[in-house]
Amino acid sequence: MSGHNIFPKWSNKLPAFILAGLLGAGSVVVVIFWYWFSPANLNVGYQPKQPIPYSHRLHAGELGIDCRYCHTGVEKSPTAGIPPTETCMNCHKLIKKNSPHIIKLRESFSKNVPIEWVRVHQLPDYAYFDHSRHINSGVSCVSCHGRIDQMETVRQVKPLSMGWCLDCHRDPVPHLRPKSEVTNMDWVTPSNQEEEGLKLKALYHVNPREDCTTCHR
């Protein structure tokens, strides 16, 4: 007796269709996790509420206070440093001393209890970053933090991801400027930045490493 097919011929292709569907779904999941859960989407725009509404737009922008006045460690240590209350009180002993927010500062100062500022730019513990190395190589605050002087409340504008860091290490020239201008928020990139950046790269001996131990120690 000749055999009879129980299933139609097209059913032979069913496993291939199922496999293709699974691969397609898997690709979508990978894209979702790669893009939507990347640092660019998770961290960029992070803007926490601070215990005291400190305005960088006013202090760094309108008043022109240099970044290094508050972030004293940025040129000589791995961390830029959060200014102690004493730094704020240098001015606010006399300026707006009756403001409710300045009263909080005064209480912090008199009780020797630091203000619990919320950190905005936070790298993972397994990633090492040295502020002084970058500042002394001609990399501006703007390259990583954006136009802080235009922010009423500081927010994260760069992803600070490994890929983002490596892009700069592979080609630092677009980000280099004279050391004297690293904290100048109004500095304008020259039209011949490629030429000037290459000169600064040689002058400051900028040769960023790309091996793992550079950032993972």
Residue 10 in domain: no
Domain count, the chain: 2
Count of CB atoms situated within 10 Å of the CB of 144 = 19
Residue 185 in domain: yes
Residue 49 in domain: no
Residue 68 in domain: no
pLDDT in tens, 27-43: 665 655 555 556 666 68
Q: Which of 192, 156, 159, 158 is nearest to 174 (CA)?
A: 192
* 173: containing domain: 74-80+122-214
Residue 111 in domain: no
d(CA 43, CA 152): 18
Residue 100 in domain: no
**What is the pLDDT at residue 43?**
87
Residue 56 in domain: no
**What is the pLDDT at residue 18?**
76
**What is the pLDDT at residue 9?**
66
Residue 4 in domain: no
Average pLDDT of the chain is: 89
**What is the pLDDT at residue 177?**
98
CB 91 within 8 A of CB 186: no
